[in-house]
């Protein structure tokens, strides 16, 4: 069992190492906003607000924290968020990747989280949530991450169910010149090249990244967990290209263009007979265009369009083994089933258009409002039963008013009305009040409602295999046998969450803050998979479908503390206690998923960084999570992980650089993530970055 360290010991050990002197849309934000004690954020309501006036608790991960964390993947950053569960999932069917979930109900896809990059949703329509490793985004291009810890459908619509992650990239004007970054070690290999330049009216940056790794390292004999029938199948080689250009068309008009592409090879597979170890070609691309007109000092109008496309190509037909099966007492030999007997392509696309208008309605009131159109389309012979595209359409109207009826009181009143082709029309409201007890202390209360729409796989999925009978052949014997694995349910209702939150924020000065949050959320009509009898299939009772079958209550208390000690030392600490209770529902029998175990009951994170000398910087990270059993995952014990990073800055031939060494899981604890055979040992890598 991993060692258990209490909070006092954690702070004492890390503090002794690094604190010897301690006791003595985003692009519109200016640098001065982040030189103040607390950052100004955009993600909570789409209005610029200090953290003391947002309607929900938030975590901001800035560029300095990203570097100090030593994170290898973007998803690793969210271990710094209280209440967030992050794990690496060697998915056995689709694409390996990270699991990121807030307040439980964790599964291989963040279906209940809204993930955005510069306001562009990266929620893939087929299964929901992002495929983190396929996002064309380099860590070096991230300016900061704003995490809204709570339902935010009033701002971003359905599927902003438990929270929102908004990744904000660096403006081209701030990254002029060339940057080269190289990293290598046990996690893998990474080479990144970025160049930023400008013309008379435009700034641009272009980033090229090549990345490869072996995932969870195999045992010496090519196995893992000592099981010769299950080789490790999570290697990848990915190339990323991204471009952003910001044009100043006139004194009032700005135009932003973004493009990104990610493509390469991923290993997958688990079971030799029908899911063999193989390679998939993966590709992901996006294009985004955003025009903004400044109508006045406090008024802007913007129009944004983006297109996402995800693609997976594979061909496992030549690798699948024949199977033996007993049909009505007769042993038969089955061949490769359709559609696995040939090349397969899965494609998911999203088209999104949105208009937004923000303005001041006087000295005490501001407003943002707008609307959008969305079209999703998916083609997947394996999961949808056809190569034809299945579609989903949605329209929405949204608005938020920030009103100051009293000098010390700030009200946020917001709502979004959505209509879509699956569940019709729903309204997601939110009301929040922030009261400033003193200039440095604020209490917050909020109530709201949010929905999660069914994804295409849940609503229209149709996974059906047809096995050819190779032998025996004769009169009265079938030539093929059908096997239905899954059938979607077209009468699903959206999941609903009714949220209640109390918060307290104390600004401690010198960039420090203590943030406390208590929330009670009631989740109704949870969509879950279950087995049922249907249709013509060879093995009755083995077909899965989906239904609105459960209700749960989530109670959570969270604390977050950030502080700077002088100019050289920074501390970030997070703690969360989450309890999930299954409530009575109309469905009989125990739920197939132990929802009360899908979030660690207790979790903590710590990041300490110190500038030891003008050239040397060191940091330590500690992450602990209690026992957990994610949906479709294994029941796992608590984990404890320590990370260390040491870096030296240097100058050479007019440029500046950094050489760093990162060691993750220093104690080599046998932490298991998502599945019992996903054992993460000690990992170390060295990196070199040079800018000129």
217: confidence class by pLDDT, cuts 50, 70, 90: low
Q: What mean pLDDT is predicted for residues 385-395?
A: 93
**CA distances (Å), origin 136, targets 79, 140, 243, 496:** 21, 12, 10, 32
In DSSP terms, 467 is beta-bridged to 481
Residue ranges and CATH numbers for the domains of the chain are 7-691 (2.40.170.20)
Query: Residue 677 carries which DSSP code?
Result: T
Provide the 8-state DSSP code for 338. Answer: B
Largest CA distance in the chain: 92
In terms of pLDDT, which residue wins out, 328 or 152?
152
pLDDT above 80 (res 275) = no
For residue 500 the two structure tokens come to 């209640």
Position 28 confidence tier, pLDDT thresholds 50, 70, 90? very low
Is 90 exceeded by the pLDDT of residue 166?
yes
Q: Which of 30-34, 140-144, 675-679 has the highest mean pLDDT?
A: 140-144
Contact yes or no for 158/428 (Cβ under 8 A) = yes
**CA distance to 83, 287, 519, 586, 630, per residue, from 582 (Å):** 19, 42, 17, 12, 15
Over residues 41-82, the pLDDT tens digits come to 999 999 999 999 999 999 999 999 999 999 999 999 999 999
Say how many CA atoms lie within 13 Å of 596 toward its Cβ: 6
Instruction: Look over the chain and give the mean of its residue pLDDT values, rounded to a whole number.
Output: 87
| C-alpha to C-alpha distance for 61 and 41, rounded to whole angstroms | 11
pLDDT for the residue numbered 603? 97
pLDDT of amino acid 17: 38
Q: Are 437 and 141 in contact (CB under 8 A)?
A: no
Whether pLDDT at 149 is above 60? yes
Q: Which one has a higher pLDDT value, 321 or 29?
A: 321
The total of other beta-carbon atoms located within 10 Å of residue 438's CB is 9
pLDDT value for 305: 98
pLDDT at 6: 42
- On whether the CB atoms of residues 104 and 599 are closer than 8 A, the answer is yes
- At residue 25, the 3 state secondary structure works out as coil
Supply the pLDDT for residue 319.
64
- The dihedrals phi and psi of 57, each to the nearest 5 degrees, come to -65, 145
Average pLDDT over residues 109-136: 88
Comparing 279 with 557, the larger pLDDT belongs to 557
User: Encoding tokens for residue 692?
Assistant: 């000129």
Evaluate whether 204 touches 243 at the Cβ level (below 8 Å). Answer: yes
CA 110, CA 99: separation in Å to the nearest integer?
Answer: 7
> What confidence score (pLDDT) does residue 274 get?
57
* pLDDT given at position 90: 59
Report pLDDT for 315: 77
Q: How far is CA 504 from CA 51, 56, 319, 519, in A?
A: 11, 11, 58, 12
List, for residues 504-523, the tens digit of each pLDDT value.
Answer: 999 998 889 999 999 999 99
Residues 6+ apart with CB under 8 A from 426: 158, 417, 418, 451, 494
d(CA 266, CA 279): 6
Highest mean pLDDT among 145-149, 187-191, 339-343: 145-149
pLDDT above 50 for 240 = yes
pLDDT digits (tens, 9 = 90+) for 560-597: 999 999 889 999 999 999 999 999 876 655 566 688 89
Residue 412 and residue 402 in contact, taking contact as beta carbons nearer than 8 Å = yes
Q: Grade residue 285 by pLDDT with cuts at 50, 70 and 90.
A: very high
Name the pLDDT band for 634 (thresholds 50, 70, 90).
confident
Euclidean distance between CA atoms 170 and 139, whole angstroms? 10
Scored b (16 or more CB within 10 A) or e, 53-83 reads bbbbbbbbbbeebbbbbbbbbbbbbbbbbbb
Say which residue, 310 or 674, is predicted with more confidence.
310
Residue 231 has pLDDT above 70, yes or no: no
Strand, helix or coil for residue 62: strand
Within 8 A by CB and 6+ apart from 509, the residues are 37, 440
pLDDT of residue 293: 97
Residue 30 pLDDT exceeds 50? no
Could you give the percent of the chain with pLDDT greater than 70?
A: 87
Q: What is the pLDDT of residue 643?
A: 97
State residue 246's pLDDT score: 97
């Amino acid at each position: 069992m991993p060692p258990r360290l209490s909070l006092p010991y954690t702070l004492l050990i890390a503090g002794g190492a690094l604190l010897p002197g301690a006791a003595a849309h985003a692009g519109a934000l200016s640098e001065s906003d982040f030189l103040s004690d607390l950052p100004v954020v955009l993600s909570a309501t789409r209005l610029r607000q200090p953290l003391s006036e947002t309607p929900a608790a938030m975590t901001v991960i800035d560029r300095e924290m990203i570097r100090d964390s030593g994170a290898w993947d973007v998803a690793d950053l969210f271990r710094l968020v209280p209440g967030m569960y992050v794990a690496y999932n060697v998915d056995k069917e689709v694409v390996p990747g990270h699991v990121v979930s807030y307040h439980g109900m964790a599964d291989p896809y963040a279906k209940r989280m809204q993930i955005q990059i510069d306001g562009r949703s990266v929620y893939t329509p087929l299964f929901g949530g992002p495929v983190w490793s396929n996002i064309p985004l380099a860590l070096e291009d991230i300016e900061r991450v704003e995490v809204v810890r709570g339902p935010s459908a009033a701002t971003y619509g359905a599927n902003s169910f438990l929270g929102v992650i908004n990744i904000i990239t660096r403006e081209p004007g701030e990254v002029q010149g060339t940057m080269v970054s190289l990293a290598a070690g046990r996690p893998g290999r990474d080479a990144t090249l970025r160049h930023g330049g400008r013309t008379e009216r435009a700034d641009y940056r272009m980033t090229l990244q090549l990345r490869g790794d072996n995932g969870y390292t195999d045992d010496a004999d090519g196995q893992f967990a000592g099981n010769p029938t299950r080789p490790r199948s999570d290697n990848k080689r990915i190339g990323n290209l991204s471009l952003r250009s910001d044009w100043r068309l006139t004194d009032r008009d700005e135009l932003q263009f973004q493009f990104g592409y990610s493509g390469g090879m991923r290993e997958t597979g688990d079971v030799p007979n029908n899911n063999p170890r193989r390679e998939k070609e993966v590709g992901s691309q996006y294009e985004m265009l955003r025009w903004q007109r400044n109508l006045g000092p406090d008024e802007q109008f913007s129009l944004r369009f983006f297109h996402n496309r995800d693609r997976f190509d594979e061909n496992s037909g030549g690798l699948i083994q024949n199977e033996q099966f007993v049909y009505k007492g007769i042993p038969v030999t089955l061949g490769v089933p359709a559609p696995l007997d040939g090349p397969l392509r899965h494609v998911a696309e999203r088209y999104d258009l949105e208009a937004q208008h923000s303005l001041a309605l006087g000295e005490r009131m501001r407003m943002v409002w707008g609307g959008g159109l969305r079209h999703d389309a998916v083609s997947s012979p394996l999961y949808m039963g056809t190569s034809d595209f299945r579609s989903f359409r949605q329209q929405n109207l949204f608005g938020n008013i920030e009103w100051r009826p009293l000098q010390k009181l700030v009200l946020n009143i917001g709502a979004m009305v959505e209509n879509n082709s699956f569940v019709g029309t729903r309204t997601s409201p939110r009301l929040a009040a922030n009261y400033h007890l003193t200039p440095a202390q604020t209490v917050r209360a909020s109530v709201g409602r949010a929905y999660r729409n069914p994804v295409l796989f849940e609503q229209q999925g149709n996974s059906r295999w047809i096995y050819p009978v190779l032998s025996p052949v004769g009169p009265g014997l079938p030539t093929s046998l059908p096997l239905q694995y899954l059938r979607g349910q077209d009468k699903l209702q959206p999941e609903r969450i009714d949220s209640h939150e109390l918060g307290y924020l104390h600004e401690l000065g010198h960039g420090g803050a203590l943030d406390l949050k208590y929330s009670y959320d009631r989740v109704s009509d949870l969509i879950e998979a279950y087995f049922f009898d249907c249709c013509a299939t060879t093995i009755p009772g083995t077909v899965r479908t989906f239904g609105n079958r459960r209700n749960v209550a989530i109670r959570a208390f969270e604390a977050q503390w950030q502080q700077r000690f002088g100019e050289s030392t920074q501390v970030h600490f997070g703690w969360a206690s989450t309890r999930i209770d299954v409530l009575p529902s109309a469905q009989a029998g125990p739920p197939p998923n132990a929802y009360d175990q899908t979030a660690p009951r207790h979790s903590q994170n710590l990041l300490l960084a110190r500038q030891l000398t003008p050239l040397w910087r060191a940091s330590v990270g500690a992450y602990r999570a209690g026992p957990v059993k994610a949906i479709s995952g294994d029941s796992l014990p608590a984990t404890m992980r320590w990370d260390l990073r040491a870096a030296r800055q240097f100058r050479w031939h007019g440029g500046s650089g950094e050489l760093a060494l990162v060691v993750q899981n220093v104690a080599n604890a046998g932490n298991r993530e998502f599945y019992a055979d996903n054992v993460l040992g000690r990992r170390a890598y060295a990196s070199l970055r040079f800018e000129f």
